[in-house]
Structure 1
Amino acid sequence: MTTTDYATYIAGLPRVLAAAATVFRDARGHVLLVEPNYREGWALPGGTVESDTGESPRQAAHRETVEEIGLDLKPGRLLAIDWARGPERPPIAAYLYDGGVLDEAALKAIRLQEAELLSWELVGRDDLGRYLRDGLAMRLRAALDVLDSGGGAVELEDGRPVAG
């Protein structure tokens, strides 16, 4: 296969997006959510994996944490990977990492990226559905279940665990 043939082959393959986020909690187990200014609803600190530059999901989660909330904290273990389909976009492979428990000093050190975010809030598990879209709420609850159980990362499709 020539270089041109290979490039044509690659250009014809299906596309998938990748995203990565970090789950930060406080001592009470409440989750840190951020409020974007560019769309409705809340989110976790995170965003698109810049795969064109060679960035990995873990690197993206770290970069987004620094950019969005000003904390230079490396992500912990992988909690969940979700194959999330949407009607007006390619599927997204969404990675969720453990950010650990933030103490009072870390919470006070949060500095929002004002170009993209309006505010942040610590939200209890029972209230996540009021803040998050259904798919993200299910994905986050699955990740919290992993933290509660001490088990390994969970594979999800559209926020629901895959029977395997």
Structure 2
Amino acid sequence: MTTSDYATYIAGLPRVLAAAATVYRDARGRVLLVEPNYRDGWALPGGTVESDRGESPRQAARRETVEEIGLDLKPGRLLAVDWVRGPGRPPIAAYLYDGGVLGEADLQAIRLQEEELLSWELVERDALVGYLRGDLARRLTAALEVLDTGGGTAELEDGIPATG
């Protein structure tokens, strides 16, 4: 196969987007959510994996945390990976990492990225569904269950456990 044949082959392959986010909690178990200014609803600190620049999901989770809330924290274990379908776009492979428990100093150091975010809030677990859209709420619920049980990474499709 020539170089141009290979390039043509690669250009014809299906597309997949990738995103990465991190679950941060406080000592009371509340989850840190951010409020974007570019869409309705709340989110976790995170965003698009810049794969064209060679960025991995883990690197993206860390970069997005720095950009969005001003904390440079190394992500912990992978809690969930979700295959998220959506109208008018390729599927997204969404990676969700454990950010651990933030102490008071961390919480005081949060600085929002004003270009994209309106606010942040620590939200009780039983109130999360009211803040998040369906697939993200289900993904976060699965990730919190992994943390609670010490189980393995959750494999999801549209926020629902994959069954094969």
Match of 1:45 in 2: 45
Gaps of 5+ in 1: none
Match of 2:145 in 1: 145
User: What per-residue deviation string (whole Å, max 9, x for no partner) do you get for residues 14-59 of structure 1?
Assistant: 0000000000001111100000011111100000000000000000
Match of 1:131 in 2: 131
For residues 114 and 143 of structure 2, what CA distance do their matches in structure 1 show? 28
Gaps of 5+ in 2: none
After TM superposition, give the deviation of residue 152 of structure 1 in Å.
1.2
After TM superposition, give the deviation of residue 125 of structure 1 in Å.
1.3
* 3-state secondary structure, aligned to 1:63: helix
With structure 1 as the length reference, what TM-score do the two structures score? Answer: 0.98
Match of 2:78 in 1: 78
Aligned length: 164
After TM superposition, give the deviation of residue 66 of structure 1 in Å.
0.5
For residues 152 and 107 of structure 1, what CA distance do their matches in structure 2 show? 28
For residues 83 and 17 of structure 2, what CA distance do their matches in structure 1 show? 10
For residues 89 and 124 of structure 2, what CA distance do their matches in structure 1 show? 30
Large movers: runs of 4+ above 2 Å: none
Match of 1:89 in 2: 89
After TM superposition, give the deviation of residue 162 of structure 1 in Å.
1.3
- Matched letter for residue 96 of structure 2: L
For residues 5 and 55 of structure 1, what CA distance do their matches in structure 2 show? 26
User: What per-residue deviation string (whole Å, max 9, x for no partner) do you get for residues 78-129 of structure 1?
Assistant: 0000000001211000000000000111101100000100000011111111
With structure 2 as the length reference, what TM-score do the two structures score? Answer: 0.98
Q: Percent identity?
A: 83
* 3-state secondary structure, aligned to 2:85: strand
